[in-house]
Each structure stands twice: as C-alpha cells, then as structure tokens.
Amino acid sequence: MSGNDILAVEHLSMRFGGIVAVNDLSFTAQRNRITALIGPNGAGKTTVFNCITGFYKPTEGSIRLTREDGGFRQLERLNDFRISKLAKVARTFQNIRLFPGMTALENLMVAQHNVLMRASGFTLLGLLGLPTWRAAERDAIERARSWLDRIGLLDRADDAAGNLPYGDQRRLEIARAMCTEPALLCLDEPAAGLNARESAALNELLLAIRDDYDTSILLIEHDMSVVMEISDHIVVLDYGVKIADGAPRAIRDDPKVIAAYLGTGDGEEIVAEGVS
C-alpha cells in the first residue's frame, strides 16, 4: 500500500436493522488504476458503493478520498450531492438511471451542472445572455460532443435517452458520469446485459478512461471476462466481509474465492439480502 491510494476504506460497516450488509471492510483503490469489487449476489457490493457515493450513511468506518495534491475528503461526512461536487466521485447505477425524456446531449449537459451554474452567475448572468455565459455553454456542448463521439453516439445526440438501445444507454451513463470530470469513477455492473461485442467495446472505453482522462475506476462486475481483463486489482466480498484482495491472477487461483463462488459442499446457505 503506497501513498498513491485514491480511496481508502477503513473498517466500514453498514447495518440495516439487524442485518449486517457490510462488516468491518477495509480496502484501498490506487490512483489511475482499475479496482474491481466482486463477490456473489448479496455480498454487499452495491451497499459499499452506496456508502462511498453518499446514498447511505455508513454505520461505522471511514472512507477517505485523497486528491492528487495530497489533500483529502472524508466521504462519510459529506452528503450525497457534495460527494460528486466537491470530492469528484461519480457513479453509474446497476439499473441505468438516465434522464429518459431528455436527449443524449441534454443528459451530458445536466452532468456539467455545477460548472455551468457558476458560469451563468447562478442564473442571473445567463438570463441576461452575457458573452461569458455563452462561451461556457459552447464549451460544455463541445465537451458533450466529444464524449458522444468517443462512445459512438454522435449521430444519436438529439434522440431521447430513453429511446436508445440498452448497450448505448450503458455507455451514455458512463459518459454522463465522466462529464462531471471525476477523480474516481464508480461503475455498478457496467457490463450487465451487454453482448460480447459491446462488452469488448466497454473494456476499451474503461481502459481509455483510466489512461487518457486521469480517472481512477472502482467497478462492481459479475462478468469475469471484463474483470480479469481490465482490472489492476480485485477485492472479493462475501457476506459483507472481504475474503481476498490482490492481482487478478492471484484472485483467480485463491481457494477461498472459488469456494465462495462455487460453494464448499456443505449445502446451500441463505444469504441475507440486506442490499438493494
């Protein structure tokens, strides 16, 4: 563990009533790396995500995000929108949450809200149509256009997001998160429901985000072809507890991980569904 950690989760616990979804979890994610969080259904992965991105307040523990200049933010003390605005953590959702009645372009414009809000003088200057605002708007459109180009949706920029095919919606959601210019991008099952070709394109996109945009990625994924191919580091959860932590090759051969996924032969156990 070096000083190059972007995210350090320490002794994180999350309880819902009597159900312990995450129990004393500690792990780190390194800057400009792709860290994968894997585990069987109900292992508590999404709960961890919701704690990091401020949708849940952790019962215990600390989540520290370190900036490149060494400054840091304790994420468990920020509430939801500030995590994206101040700490620069963006996320996507397991069941895509685009703005279906807005166009692809508008979706990416909404993501640049805070920048544009300042540029529009908190609406007043924008209402008067000052040139500084117009320039800022042009820049925002340009950024949106470059992202649409990058994910191959430029020709569908003016179509409603709800009308796009599933795979395109997944990519658009990632592009939307990237438009907030995050330091850490959290992706909740980005490959779910994608076919092999789309999945390969996704891998390429994620690697490009890591290498070209100076963004670290934390990723939940079930699709092992994605996880093994692009992850630099893997954290394995089971029943809310970390059971393994290491490079993809090491994880693949870890007997505890194999047991968690395939069962140990002592019968089926009912997993407490404490996560959404």
Residue 44 CB, shortest distance to other proteins, in Å, is 14
Tell me which of 23, 28, 50, 215 binds other proteins, using CB under 8 A. Answer: 50
14-43 positions binding other proteins, by CB under 8 A: none
Task: Examine residue 99 and tell whether it contacts other proteins (CB under 8 A).
Answer: yes
Tell me which of 11, 68, 101, 225 binds other proteins, using CB under 8 A. Answer: 101
Task: Specify the stretch interacting with other proteins by CB under 8 A; choose among 49-57, 61-69, 219-227, 241-249.
Answer: 49-57
Task: Examine residue 169 and tell whether it contacts other proteins (CB under 8 A).
Answer: no
CB atoms near residue 151 (< 10 Å): 19
Task: Examine residue 152 and tell whether it contacts other proteins (CB under 8 A).
Answer: no
Q: How many CA atoms lie within 13 A of 257 on its CB side?
A: 20
Tell me which of 68, 80, 204, 273 binds other proteins, using CB under 8 A. Answer: 80
DSSP string computed for 119-172: HTTTTHHHHHT-HHHHHHHHHHHHHHHHHHHHTT-GGGTTSBGGGS-HHHHHHH
Tell me which of 93, 200, 246, 272 binds other proteins, using CB under 8 A. Answer: 93
Residue 267 CB, shortest distance to other proteins, in Å, is 30
- What is the spatial distance between Cα 116 and Cα 134, in angstroms, rounded to a whole number? 10
Q: How far is CA 50 from the centre of its chain?
A: 10
Residue 266 CB, shortest distance to other proteins, in Å, is 33
Q: What is the dihedral of CA 229, 231, 234, 239, to 10 degrees?
A: -80
* Residue 274 backbone dihedrals phi, psi, to 5 degrees: -95, 5
Report yes or no: 54 and 79 within 8 Å, Cβ to Cβ: yes
Residue with Cβ nearer other proteins (105 or 205)? 105
Tell me which of 33, 64, 85, 252 binds other proteins, using CB under 8 A. Answer: 85
Task: Specify the stretch interacting with other proteins by CB under 8 A; choose among 106-114, 214-222, 231-239, 250-258.
Answer: 106-114
Task: Specify the stretch interacting with other proteins by CB under 8 A; choose among 19-27, 150-158, 226-234, 256-264.
Answer: 150-158
Using CA atoms, how far residue 263 sits from 220, 256, 270, 274, in Å, is: 21, 10, 12, 20
CA quadruple 245, 81, 22, 174: dihedral sign: negative
Task: Examine residue 91 and tell whether it contacts other proteins (CB under 8 A).
Answer: yes
Residue 86 CB, shortest distance to other proteins, in Å, is 8
Residue with Cβ nearer other proteins (62 or 114)? 114
Report yes or no: 15 and 59 within 8 Å, Cβ to Cβ: yes
Task: Examine residue 81 and tell whether it contacts other proteins (CB under 8 A).
Answer: yes
* Amino acid at position 270, single letter: I
- What is the spatial distance between Cα 179 and Cα 193, in angstroms, rounded to a whole number? 23
Report yes or no: 153 and 168 within 8 Å, Cβ to Cβ: yes
Binding string, residues 127-146; x marks residues near other proteins by CB under 8 A: x-x-----------x---x-
Residue numbers of the site for other proteins (CB under 8 A)?
Answer: 46, 50, 53-55, 80-85, 90-91, 93, 97-103, 105-106, 109-114, 116-117, 120, 123, 126-127, 129, 141, 145, 154, 157-160, 162-163, 176-177, 180, 276
